Amino acid sequence: MGQIIANAVILGCTYALMAIGLNMVYGLLKILHVAHAGIYTLGAYVGLLIFRTLTKSLWPGLVCAMVAAGFAGVAIFHILYKPVLRRPRYIALIASAGIFAASQELFRLIAGPYPYAFPAQFVFPAIRTKFFYLTSTQMLILSFTVVSFIVLYFLISRTKIGLAWQACMQDMDIAGTSGINVNRVITLNFFLGSALAGAAGILVALYRNSVFPTMGALVSYKAFVVVVLGGLGSMPGAVVAAMLLALVESLLSAAPWFEFPRDALAFLTMTIILLFRPKGLFKR
Amino acid sequence: MRRVFIILALFAVCAFGQQAIKVGFIAPLTGPAAADGFSALQSALLAVDYINAHGGINGVPLELVYYDDALSPDQAAALTRKLIEGDKVVAVVSGSYSSTSRAAAAVCQELKVPFVAAYAVHPSIVQVGEYAFRVGMAAQIQGRIGGYFAVRELGAKRIAFLIMNNDFGISLAQAFKDAATSLGATIVYEKRYPVGETEFRDYLTAIKAADPDLLYAPGYYNEAANITRQFRELGLRCWLMGDEGYDSPKYLELAGPAANGVFITTDLDRDSRRPITQFFLKAYEERTGIPADMVGASAFDAVMIVAHVLRQAGTDPKAFIAYLAELKNFEDAATGPILMFQERTAVRPMQIQIVLNGKFRHFYEYGPEEPIIYYTYP
Amino acid sequence: MLGYILTIANFACIYALAILGLNILTGYAKQVSLGHAAIFALGAYSQALLVTKAGIPFFASLILASLISSIIGMLFGLPSLRVSHDHLVLTTIGLNFIVVAIVEYFDFFGGALGIVGLGTPQIFGHLLATREYLILVVGLLILALIFCWFFSRTWAKLLMEAIGEDELAAAVLGINVARIKLLAFAVSSALTGLAGALWAQYIGSVFPKNFGLELSITMLSMLVFGGMGTIRGALFGALFLYCLPEALRFIQNYRMLLNGVLLAAMVIWQPSGILGKGGLLDWQNIVRKRKAQ
């Protein structure tokens, strides 16, 4: 049982890393950023590239993945979302979906349709207790997630730009008139959120030892569920929702009589909860 | 003298410029199944080159006309019509999955053109009518052999099942179960998982608690690789057995050292000394840079068999299917000899291969004298 | 070649029918649905079950399938009464997964092996091959177009548009938002479900994986590309975007890539679609502008 919970926590971390980025974008721009999954995949491929060409060690790949993903995210904002901010939201959604579909094809055309193994090397402690065992990869994921959130928390609540961020989340127009450089806030937002997605991509590639063009689809929809459940725009909500979802999934999957696919289960849970609490579990 | 030479040259040009015999081919070249589509297409093209290098179809070159069906049955149905009516192919080979193959087979049956599925397993594909054939082994037989092997040779008494939820996984698991239970084994765990699942630790933790002797996990190599790694990570010590879906170098690459000791049922014997098998393995790797897999081998065989029948029976559809249905002991297949066709599905010897030190090695074989490789009639 | 073209025509018209349905929900009532593939699946599976398990003749099954889709579609619409716009999109995304999971895991719906053997449809003993089927499909499409045209002149459509424009204001004006929303879901699902049933019958088999989120995205993009909120836009978008990949076949390998990029570009630069109000080729608008000059 302890092992099931331990595994679930790690799974939850992967969801949380994706959900944070989505949350950031949604909180500011109210756009369902489907292309986020493309950035996740980009992170994995960049990591793979570094692994195969430069060095077998994980860390340079991780840094490059995050940076590349960050820039990609910002680019997507400028090219795709900025022109349509004043228009109905489904426009951005469809554009995002189009770019995501195109990105999967791009990865296939450049890197080929086959999955690649990703045995990058790194040194990290593992934990073995009587109740559960976490491999070094799992510990890496856990630590990275925790550190990211601590950093983000400080950024948002203790720095000036974090304050500007919060203002923009409440009302972008008024924040703009108050002298806040809204563009800069949004750019930073996209950069950080996308960097986290890129990190999630490379970490999951490491965890599952495979990189392939359609890997983004699997996790992105789940991340949306997490974002909604946690209450759109709420960071701690997203983390809690991610863990909760992972836990529910894992416990039910382990039960011998239960046989429903995880994704469907996640959405079903979301729908039911939304019926009772339309604003999500944690009100903003 | 020069005039004669020119006339002869013109004649030769006419003979070659003569309509090549066209065979249609559909495969998912884009979309989620692109890897298998690529493998199937390259192998089919390889077969065409081989055939043309060995005299074509009685001197006439063979040409493969192929289209991408993007794993969509609409497109498969439309494309099959295009192949038959527009490109005037004499037969259609499907290098695609079951839903698309089923749609294509239906069109071929309607238009009375021979259809051969390379590796799609859904039983209904060959049931559309007398024009639909399948080159790959039936899942029922493969599963059954797996069951026999597990109980008789490996001595497994408690068996756990982790089944990929599609036609492939389900048919294999059902047959395996029936065979194993008829020999006295008990089922200690059974779960289906969706295609594309990557997280198996929860299932495996429950399986570990059920303490089986063997875990049978029918599926494709992506999921299989994850299952294998997580299986070892969690410390399970029972046998792990798979199917021909594992039969790909990608499985070995993605699963890494965790795959050591895994058994699979398949028809491709990589240690085989048969010249055609060795030719295919080498040529495929030269052509694409990656080692071959079962999907490719099946596509190769499908084209080889179509060419053979065309050579012997000509392009008339009725003659084609009559000859194919009665074909016995076809040796020119990379995946092993095709002994005969029953229910329009190929019957062939089945291999048990084991993964040792990162390679698939021969372990056991159920040859032509084994009754369990044939369909039993109800 | 003719058979090929007729086959494409068949599917194009079936999709046109489906998008007409989507237009009612998403075009008029602005309830953005990324789950219409699930509705399409409802129609397809209903048809498959009715024909293979209940032995009901083809045409009667079509009508029943459409009805069943309509009722269940209305049920799917219930969340829209409680949740806000953005949550609704996510709920509809979820619908795809839930419906696919249900038909994949419960053997009554065929499970992962799907349902096969729908057989060649016949009306009054007369077999319908591709050519005759096309006549039927086009006939139904024309009927649907007439229906939509009449529908666009009813109060119901105005009410839907009002709700789409500003739900709060509509409610304040005394409009029974819940009832109109459910009506939108019902009518929309009836049309899309019918399309699904026709699709299933034509292919002859249904498999769960045919109805995923990608299909929903394709359907929504057809509507947006053509012009949301207009019948001509729905029709054009479906026909054009279905036939485009076939026409682009010569660049097979890059087809899907171009599709995605085209979609994104189109939606950013011309969000009213091609034929929608204010769209690229909205001749009424163009004529009006010319007259004003």
Please tell me the distance from the alpha carbon of residue C60 to that of residue C56, in angstroms, as a whole number.
7
Please list every residue in chain C whose beta carbon sits closer than 8 Å to the beta carbon of residue B167.
112-114
Query: What are the extents of the domains in chain C?
Result: 2-292
pLDDT single digits (tens) B40-85? 999 999 999 999 999 888 889 999 999 998 888 888 998 999 999 8
Nearest to A117 among B37, B205, B256 (CB): B256
ipTM over 0.85: no
CB A238 within 8 A of CB A225: no
Neighbours of chain A (3+ CB pairs under 8 A): B, C
Quick one: what percent of chain C has pLDDT higher than 70? 97
Please tell me the distance from the alpha carbon of residue C106 to that of residue A266, in angstroms, as a whole number.
18
Interface test with A, best of B38, B193, B199, B293 (most A CBs within 10 A): B199
Would you call A209 and B192 a contact, using CB atoms and an 8 Å cutoff? Answer: no
Please list every residue in chain B whose beta carbon sits closer than 8 Å to the beta carbon of residue A4.
201-202, 205
Nearest to C11 among B74, B99, B194 (CB): B74
Please tell me the distance from the alpha carbon of residue B198 to that of residue A273, in angstroms, as a whole number.
26
Interface test with B, best of A13, A121, A253, A258 (most B CBs within 10 A): A253
Q: Which of A211, A197, A203, A214 is nearest to A48 (CA)?
A: A211
Task: Provide the number of CB pairs (under 8 Å) joining chain B to chain C.
Answer: 92
pLDDT single digits (tens) B82-96? 999 888 999 999 999
Q: Residues of chain C whose C-beta is under 8 A from some C-beta in A? A: 30, 32, 34, 78-79, 82-87, 89-91, 93-95, 97-98, 100-102, 104-105, 213-214, 217, 220-221, 224, 253-254, 256-257, 259-264, 267-269, 271
Please tell me the distance from the alpha carbon of residue A266 to that of residue A274, in angstroms, as a whole number.
12
Please tell me the distance from the alpha carbon of residue A199 to that of residue A216, in angstroms, as a whole number.
13
pLDDT single digits (tens) A230-239? 776 677 888 8
Nearest CA in chain A to B229: A208
CB B245 within 8 A of CB B218: yes
pLDDT at B377: 41
Nearest to C7 among B77, B165, B170 (CB): B77
Q: What is the pTM of this model?
A: 0.85
Mean pLDDT of the region B206-210: 90
Q: Which of A67, A70, A80 is nearest to A33 (CA)?
A: A80
pLDDT at B35: 87
Sequence-ordered list of residues with C-beta below 8 angstroms from that of C151, at least 6 positions apart, any chain: C24, C157, C187
A210 contact B CB<8A: yes
Orientation of helix A89-111 relative to helix C255-269, angle to 10°: 160
Would you call C97 and A261 a contact, using CB atoms and an 8 Å cutoff? Answer: yes
Fold for domain C2-292? ABC transporter involved in vitamin B12 uptake, BtuC (1.10.3470)
Sequence-ordered list of residues with C-beta below 8 angstroms from that of C30, at least 6 positions apart, any chain: A88, C161, C163, C164, C165
Q: Which of residues 5-24 of C touch B (CB under 8 A)?
A: 7-8, 11
Mean pLDDT of the region B162-178: 91
* pLDDT band (50, 70, 90) for residue B12: low
Neighbours of chain C (3+ CB pairs under 8 A): A, B
pLDDT single digits (tens) B136-153? 888 888 999 999 999 999
A179 contact B CB<8A: no
Say which range, A165-179, B110-124, B347-361, C32-46, has the weakest mean pLDDT.
A165-179
In a domain, A118, yes or no: yes
A121 contact B CB<8A: no
pLDDT at A234: 72
Interface test with C, best of A274, A275, A279 (most C CBs within 10 A): A274
Nearest to B165 among C11, C104, C117 (CB): C104
**Cα C272 to Cα B33, B375, C216, C226, distances in angstroms:** 34, 60, 19, 8
pLDDT at A279: 67
Nearest CA in chain A to C94: A267
A208 contact B CB<8A: yes
For position A176, which CATH number holds?
1.10.3470
Give the count of beta carbons closer than 10 Å to the beta carbon of residue A116: 19
Vertex B256: Cα angle to B255 and B257 (nearest 5): 120
pLDDT at B378: 34
Task: Provide the number of CB pairs (under 8 Å) joining chain A to chain C.
Answer: 132
Nearest CA in chain C to B166: C112
Smallest Cα distance from A151 to chain B, Å: 28
Mean pLDDT of the region B199-227: 91
Please list every residue in chain C whose beta carbon sits closer than 8 Å to the beta carbon of residue B166.
112, 209
Find how far residue B223's CA is from the centre of its chain: 18
* pLDDT band (50, 70, 90) for residue B238: very high
Smallest Cα distance from C8 to chain B, Å: 6
A224 contact C CB<8A: yes
CB C275 within 8 A of CB C232: yes
Smallest Cα distance from B69 to chain C, Å: 10
Would you call B205 and A114 a contact, using CB atoms and an 8 Å cutoff? Answer: no
Nearest to B205 among A3, A117, A208 (CB): A3
Would you call B99 and C255 a contact, using CB atoms and an 8 Å cutoff? Answer: no
Chain position carrying tokens 């709420």: A234
In a domain, A219, yes or no: yes
Please list every residue in chain C whose beta carbon sits closer than 8 Å to the beta carbon of residue B127.
116-117
Please list every residue in chain B whose beta carbon sits closer than 8 Å to the beta carbon of residue A263.
194
Please tell me the distance from the alpha carbon of residue A189 to that of residue A196, in angstroms, as a whole number.
11
In a domain, A284, yes or no: no
Would you call C4 and B77 a contact, using CB atoms and an 8 Å cutoff? Answer: no
- SS3 string, chain C, reads CHHHHHHHHHHHHHHHHHHHHHHHHHHHCCCCCCCHHHHHHHHHHHHHHHHHCCCCCHHHHHHHHHHHHHHHHHHHCCHHHHCCHHHHHHHHHHHHHHHHHHHHHCHHHCHHHCEECCCCCEECCEECCHHHHHHHHHHHHHHHHHHHHHHCCCHHHHHHHHHHHCHHHHHHCCCCHHHHHHHHHHHHHHHHHHHHHHHHHHHCEECHHHHCHHHHHHHHHHHHHHCCCCHHHHHHHHHHHHHHHHHHHHHHHHHHHHHHHHHHHHHHHCCCCCCCCCCCCCHHHHHHHHHHC
Rg (CA), chain C: 19
Nearest to C257 among A32, A80, A109 (CB): A109
Smallest Cα distance from B234 to chain C, Å: 27
Say how many domains are in chain A: 1
Would you call B103 and C252 a contact, using CB atoms and an 8 Å cutoff? Answer: no
Please list every residue in chain A whose beta carbon sits closer than 8 Å to the beta carbon of residue B225.
209-210
Would you call A250 and B256 a contact, using CB atoms and an 8 Å cutoff? Answer: no
pLDDT single digits (tens) C154-190? 888 888 888 888 888 888 888 888 888 999 999 999 9
CB B323 within 8 A of CB B341: no
What the block records as the tokens of C12 is: 């194009």
In a domain, A70, yes or no: yes
Mean pLDDT of the region C84-97: 82
Smallest Cα distance from B378 to chain A, Å: 31
Task: Provide the number of CB pairs (under 8 Å) joining chain A to chain B.
Answer: 78
* pLDDT band (50, 70, 90) for residue C106: confident
DSSP string, A72-132: HHHHHIIIIIGGGTTS-HHHHHHHHHHHHHHHHHHHHHHH-SS-B----B-----EE-SS-
pLDDT at residue C94 greater than cutoff 60? yes
Quick one: what percent of chain C has pLDDT higher than 90? 29
Nearest CA in chain B to C2: B85
Please tell me the distance from the alpha carbon of residue B80 to that of residue B71, in angstroms, as a whole number.
13
pLDDT at B2: 63
In a domain, A282, yes or no: no
Would you call A112 and B38 a contact, using CB atoms and an 8 Å cutoff? Answer: yes
Mean pLDDT of the region B352-371: 88
Residues in chain A with pLDDT < 70?
A: 232-233, 279-284
Nearest to C79 among A224, A260, A271 (CB): A271
pLDDT at residue C137 greater than cutoff 60? yes
pLDDT at B289: 87
Please tell me the distance from the alpha carbon of residue C109 to that of residue C207, in angstroms, as a whole number.
10
Neighbours of chain B (3+ CB pairs under 8 A): A, C
Give the count of beta carbons closer than 10 Å to the beta carbon of residue C261: 18
Please tell me the distance from the alpha carbon of residue B374 to that of residue B347, in angstroms, as a whole number.
6
Rounded to a whole number, what is the distance in angstroms from the first to the last CA of chain C? Answer: 48
Would you call B167 and C112 a contact, using CB atoms and an 8 Å cutoff? Answer: yes
DSSP string, chain A: -HHHHHHHHHHHHHHHHHHHHHHHHHHHH----TTHHHHHHHHHHHHHHHHHHT-SBHHHHHHHHHHHHHHHHHHHIIIIIGGGTTS-HHHHHHHHHHHHHHHHHHHHHHH-SS-B----B-----EE-SS-EE-HHHHHHHHHHHHHHHHHHHHHHHSHHHHHHHHHHH-HHHHHHTT--HHHHHHHHHHHHHHHHHHHHHHHHHHHT-B-TTHHHHHHHHHHHHHHHT-TT-HHHHHHHHHHHHHHHHHHHHSTT----HHHHHHHHHHHHHHH-TT-SS--
Please list every residue in chain B whose beta carbon sits closer than 8 Å to the beta carbon of residue A11.
199
Please tell me the distance from the alpha carbon of residue B364 to that of residue B353, in angstroms, as a whole number.
7
pLDDT single digits (tens) A256-271? 777 777 778 888 888 8
Please list every residue in chain A whose beta carbon sits closer than 8 Å to the beta carbon of residue C262.
98
- Residue-number span of the structural domain to which A74 is assigned: 2-276
Mean pLDDT of the region B183-209: 90
Which amino acid would we find at residue A197? A
Would you call C117 and B70 a contact, using CB atoms and an 8 Å cutoff? Answer: no
